[in-house]
Amino acid sequence: MPSALKTVPHASHWGAFTAVVRDGRVIDALPIANDPDPSPMLAAIPGMVHGPARIAEPMVREGWLKHRDRNRGADRFVAVSWDEALDLVAGELKRVKADHGNASIFAGSYGWASAGRFHHAKSQLGRFMNTFGGYTTQKYNYSYAAALALLPHVCGTAQPSEGPISSYETIVAETRQMVCFGGLSMKNTQLDSGGLARHESADWLKRAAEAGVRFVIVSPIRDDVPPFLDAMGAAEWLPIRPNTDTAMMLAMAYVLASEGLADDAFLASHCVGWPQYRAYLLGERDGVAKTPAWAEGICGVPADRIASLARESAGLRTMLSAAWSLQRADHGEQPFWALVALAAAVGQIGLPGGGFGFGYACVSGQGVPRSTVSMPTLPTLKNPTDSFIPVARIADMLLSPGGEYEYDGEIRTYPDARLVYWCGGNPFHHHQDLNRLARAFQQPECVVVHEPFWTATARHADIVLPATTTLERNDICAGKRDHTWAAMHQAIEPVGNARNDHAIFCGLAARLGNLEAFTEGRDEAGWLRHMYQVAEEKAAAQGVTLPPFEAFWETGEVNIPTPTKPFVLFEDFRLDPEGVPLKTPSGKFEIYSETIAGFGYDDCPGHPVWFEPHEWLGHVQQVSETPLHLISNQPRTRLHGQNDPEGPSRASKIKGREPIWLHPEDAALRDVTDGDIVRVFNSRGAVLAGVVVTDRVMPGVVQLATGAWYDPAEPGGLDKHGNPNVLTRDQGTSRLGQGPSSHSALVQVERYRGNLPPITAWQATEGSA
Ligand SMILES: Nc1nc2c(c(=O)[nH]1)N[C@H]1C(S)=C(S)[C@@H](COP(=O)(O)OP(=O)(O)OC[C@H]3O[C@@H](n4cnc5c(=O)[nH]c(N)nc54)[C@H](O)[C@@H]3O)O[C@H]1N2
Ligand SMILES: Nc1nc2c(c(=O)[nH]1)N[C@H]1C(S)=C(S)[C@@H](COP(=O)(O)OP(=O)(O)OC[C@H]3O[C@@H](n4cnc5c(=O)[nH]c(N)nc54)[C@H](O)[C@@H]3O)O[C@H]1N2
Ligand SMILES: [Mo]
């Protein structure tokens, strides 16, 4: 009998695709025909969906089942039936709610989960918890938490980081020079949160270069220069010591201030605080003028080039940009604020192709023309508790319930989290200082995790509920930075005994009494149609007619028109500062913020300043023991921890370990070469990694991307695989933003001479079904 072959339209964070299915198994994931730049990550999909890391049955940790112990991360799991598992979870939710209140249920559950708006895991969890009385959530994201806290004080909105930012159309048409702190890392444009249909960033950047835009890429890693811009002769690479961009920005502003190049009219009409900042730049209070020579000593970029770049920026239509990475660092608020202040002094904010923007090329859609129509979403309803922690303070919360901390002008206390619930995220991927996180995970009374895969987070849970992947359900893919919505047709039946997160929450809600509130009587098909129709009505109110749901579902995608006039960030405010003021206290850009100054934070004063990061290459004593700055950037071969065991990520491993990039001088000093295994360590922990020697990374800097599945030889011991978060520091950016500061860490590297232990993180855990 011929085997049944079918193709279905589907989509992921890394692109829309056609799933090829034979005999109930996904055998291929082919890019759609009109994607100009599809991601190689699609190749990982079949192997992931049917791979050995899938969780087949509900599992409970033996020590928790028998005597409620907290020995997480080093225990066996036993399979239970769905009814038993749901009874256990419902029982714990009921108990914690009755004894400690809803705020003791921590279900912030940060994470990217999968594409698809209905089955979006965190939304399902949020809606379930909100109809159960609420929970403690996490505020903001790991991507740009410091920016989200800072920018409303400075610009009245976080839009310069969240988007929309000035569109590439205006850059192609008007920009002459684009200065990119943190570069334009094309690896990062493979994906977007919520999913995307087509990859357009590279096309836009090529068009800009063809139109004559010159790109200045300021970054410790040469791969942040798009190779095609290099080949076109349109890019200059300025290597910079990590975490020192603020010094360079201050020096550029100093040149403008001291050479009469600052746009004094714009600074007076649209900004407050230039006089205070200018005094700081000129060294009038601290006696240190922030000259290019001063900055060179800190950041390593030649003083002459800093000065000429400042003069060129004032003379040419210049777009100043910074990657989100710059603020995932100690005092990460400062480079973002300093860039706004620099752009204010240049005076081109609100002009087409000028001003500033954060996050160009950090994800696929940032800067790409996007529609203004709201996408279909699952309403998560209101959280009755209002309880939250800043996103990256999870370990602090677990280790010090009731502890006080400061955050954006408030003194707050950590809730007493008794139950931790994760659905759609992987803190043992994303959080800093994993050995500390593992200790923090011993604190709660119960940890529940929904996962398709045996991630390190699943391994640190008490109750593990196997979730489906997107291929096992129907959904609508829509990203807020996209202009195409894609239908995601179910391709296969659930693998093993996996269930949709939605079905799992229905099972719990039936036991807890919130089923009707949670579902409103709709099933998957009912919700998809309903969500689409709500979006369709909103679009109609904006004069945009969308095809009916059936037509969308049948064709597989709908293209939403983008505005005909290219978007320019702050254009309205530039044209009419009195009539359309910013939502800051002054109604203007705040180069000096009385509000922030009033908080009295010594780690985030009233205007941008240079701070030495807690760990950096300029600290002589630190560098004697840990002489290398660790850049744990986003991986080119996967999405965070997703897809690590398959496809391009698997192929990139060296003797099974994550690759680490070392400059030839640093490799020679350690007598290591391509393919060797090294131990990378500091006071927080140690990991193994496989050496790549390359001059694409600066001397003194190493790149070990995020996402290798955490694989400790024993709890707290050597990570055999190379997860950089064993080495990063778990400390808020400042009291203002409390964002993660993963890009500020020093390490040492040495040849590893021991026996190579096998990687076990990609297999089902011991005791699995
Ligand atoms: N050192 C360092 N650390 C970093 C960063 C850095 O630059 N350096 N970057 C940070 C940033 S910006 C981010 S955004 C975070 C990302 O951190 P995360 O978003 O937590 O990472 P992911 O690996 O995407 O985790 C998502 C998890 O959801 C699971 N999942 C997928 N679909 C479903 C589903 O339908 N249901 C359920 N229940 N689960 C599902 C996946 O299997 C995966 O394990 O990492 C942060 N960590
Ligand atoms: N392939 C792939 N793409 C992704 C992701 C992924 O997991 N895989 N994750 C997505 C997510 S969640 C996010 S938030 C975005 C994040 O986007 P970014 O924040 O831009 O991500 P990174 O890759 O950490 O950083 C970009 C570059 O900044 C440089 N850099 C780091 N520190 C410094 C510094 O102090 N100064 C300067 N000048 N440069 C520095 C590094 O060389 C790095 O390559 O990426 C998204 N895109
Ligand atoms: Mo992110």
452 lines ligand 1 (CB under 6 A): yes
Q: Which of these is catalytic: 14, 64, 112, 421?
A: 112
The pLDDT tens digits of the residues spanning 269-324 come to 999 999 999 999 999 999 999 999 999 999 999 999 999 999 999 999 999 999 99
435 lines ligand 1 (CB under 6 A): no
DSSP 3-state of 474: coil
709 is catalytic: no
Which value, to the nearest 10 degrees, does the dihedral of the CA atoms of residues 109, 111, 117, 123 take? 10
pLDDT of residue 733: 98
Statement: residue 124 has pLDDT above 80: yes
Task: Give the distance (Å) from ligand 1 centre to CA of residue 430.
Answer: 6
Cis peptide before 164 (omega within 30 of 0): yes
pLDDT of residue 524: 98
Task: Give the distance (Å) from ligand 2 centre to CA of residue 151.
Answer: 19
User: At residue 474, what is the residue type?
Assistant: N
| pLDDT band at residue 764 using 50, 70 and 90 as cut-offs | confident
The pLDDT tens digits of the residues spanning 474-518 come to 999 999 998 999 999 999 999 999 999 999 999 999 999 999 999
| pLDDT band at residue 2 using 50, 70 and 90 as cut-offs | low
The pLDDT tens digits of the residues spanning 54-101 come to 999 999 999 999 999 999 998 999 999 999 999 999 999 999 999 999
Task: Give the distance (Å) from ligand 3 centre to CA of residue 367.
Answer: 17
Statement: residue 769 has pLDDT above 50: no
Phi, then psi, of 750 in degrees rounded to 5: -140, 155
110 is catalytic: yes
DSSP 3-state of 608: coil
Number of H helices, E strands in the chain: 28, 29
DSSP state of 419: E
701 Cβ neighbours under 8 A, 6+ residues apart: 220, 221, 241, 242, 628, 629, 631, 663
468 Cβ neighbours under 8 A, 6+ residues apart: 452, 494, 495, 498, 499, 500, 501
430 lines ligand 1 (CB under 6 A): yes
The three state secondary structure string of 175-230 is CCEEEEECCCCHHHHHCCCCCCCCCCHHHHHHHHHHCCCEEEEECCEHHHCCHHHH
Question: Which residue from 338, 339, 337 is spatially nearest to 355, judged by alpha carbons?
Answer: 339
Phi, then psi, of 401 in degrees rounded to 5: -60, 135
Atom number of ligand 2 nearest to Cα 639: 7
In this structure, the strands spanning 589-590 and 271-272 are parallel
Mean pLDDT of the chain: 97
For residues 253 and 482, give the distance between their C-alpha atoms in angstroms, rounded to a whole number.
35
Task: Give the distance (Å) from ligand 3 centre to CA of residue 160.
Answer: 16
pLDDT of residue 159: 98
Q: What is the mean pLDDT of residues 632-657?
A: 98
Residues 568/514, Cβ–Cβ less than 8 Å = no
pLDDT of residue 765: 83
pLDDT of residue 270: 98
For residues 662 and 670, give the distance between their C-alpha atoms in angstroms, rounded to a whole number.
10
Atom number of ligand 1 nearest to Cα 423: 38
To test the pocket of ligand 1, the residue of 109, 447, 642, 723 to mutate (highest count of ligand atoms within 8 Å of its CB) is 642
324 Cβ neighbours under 8 A, 6+ residues apart: 143, 144, 147, 161, 182, 358, 359, 362
| pLDDT band at residue 768 using 50, 70 and 90 as cut-offs | low
115 lines ligand 1 (CB under 6 A): no
Task: Give the distance (Å) from ligand 3 centre to CA of residue 70.
Answer: 30
Residues 666/749, Cβ–Cβ less than 8 Å = yes
For residues 235 and 215, give the distance between their C-alpha atoms in angstroms, rounded to a whole number.
5
DSSP 3-state of 507: helix
To test the pocket of ligand 1, the residue of 54, 141, 185, 430 to mutate (highest count of ligand atoms within 8 Å of its CB) is 430
| Sequential DSSP letters for 133-146 | T--BEEES-TTTHH
User: At residue 735, what is the residue type?
Assistant: R
Length of the chain: 769
Q: What is the mean pLDDT of residues 411-428?
A: 98
The pLDDT tens digits of the residues spanning 556-590 come to 999 999 989 999 999 999 999 999 999 999 999 99
Percentage of residues of the chain with pLDDT beyond 90: 97
Task: Give the distance (Å) from ligand 2 centre to CA of residue 182.
Answer: 8
The pLDDT tens digits of the residues spanning 251-277 come to 999 999 999 999 999 999 999 999 999
Statement: residue 374 has pLDDT above 70: yes
pTM above 0.85, yes or no: yes
Question: Which residue from 52, 54, 26, 31 is spatially nearest to 42, judged by alpha carbons?
Answer: 31
Residue 15 CA: which ligand is closest?
A: 2
Residue 241 CA: which ligand is closest?
A: 2
Residues 344/275, Cβ–Cβ less than 8 Å = no
- Number of C-beta neighbours around residue 393 at 10 A: 25
334 lines ligand 2 (CB under 6 A): no
Q: Token pair of 738, please?
A: 């409390």
350 lines ligand 1 (CB under 6 A): no
358 lines ligand 2 (CB under 6 A): no
Q: Which of these is catalytic: 110, 168, 421, 527?
A: 110
